[in-house]
Amino acid sequence: MTWRQLALVAALTAWPLAGLAQTLDPASQAALDQTLRMLLDPQARSGELAKSPQGAAADQQIRALTGSDARTQELYEVAGEVLKDLAQSTGGDPEKMLLALDRGRTDPAAFAAMLSPATQERLRALAVKLR
C-alpha cells in the first residue's frame, strides 16, 4: 500500500465519525474537535464504532492492516490529521468532502496532494511501518 492509498484509508476511517456542517463555523469546528477527540481516545472510539456494524467492520479491517494496538492508534491519529486537512481544504462542506473522497478512490495521488506537507509526511512514515 502506498502512502497515497493510506491517505484515502485514513480519510475513510475518520469520515463516518465526522458530523461537519457546511462551513467551519463555531458549531462545525466543535463537531470536528469532538470527532478528533473520539479518534484519539480508544475507549470513546470503540463506543462510537460499536453503534454501527459498518464501523465495527471497518475497525476490524484497520486492526488487520496495522497488526498492533499501537499502530492502530497511530492510524487513527493520522486519520484525524487527514480529516482536519480535508475539512480545511473544502471549507467544511460535507458534499465537497464526499466528492474528494470519491475522487480519491480512483486518484489517490490527487487526494493526497490536498493534504498538508506535515500530514503527507506522517502518512509516508506510517506506510513504511505497515509494509
Give the whole-number percent of the chain exceeding pLDDT 90: 23
pLDDT at 20 over 60: no
The cell 492509498 sits on which residue? 5
Q: Which of 11, 110, 118, 116 is nearest to 62 (CA)?
A: 11
pLDDT at 70 over 90: yes
Determine the pLDDT at residue 1.
52
* DSSP at 115: S
Q: CA distances (Å), 22 to each of 25, 90, 116, in order?
A: 8, 9, 21
pLDDT tens per residue across span 85-106? 888 888 777 788 888 888 888 8
Q: What are the structural domain ranges in the chain?
A: 3-129
Contacts of 76 (CB under 8 A, 6+ apart): 13, 14, 39, 40, 45, 62
Determine the pLDDT at residue 125.
92
Determine the pLDDT at residue 29.
78
pLDDT confidence tier of residue 14, bands split at 50, 70 and 90: low
pLDDT confidence tier of residue 41, bands split at 50, 70 and 90: very high
Average pLDDT over residues 37-65: 88
Q: Determine the Cα–Cα distance for residues 78 and 37; give it in Å rounded to an integer.
A: 13
CB atoms within 10 A of CB 100: 18
**Average pLDDT of the chain to the nearest whole number:** 81
Residue 39, SS3?
A: helix
Determine the pLDDT at residue 27.
72
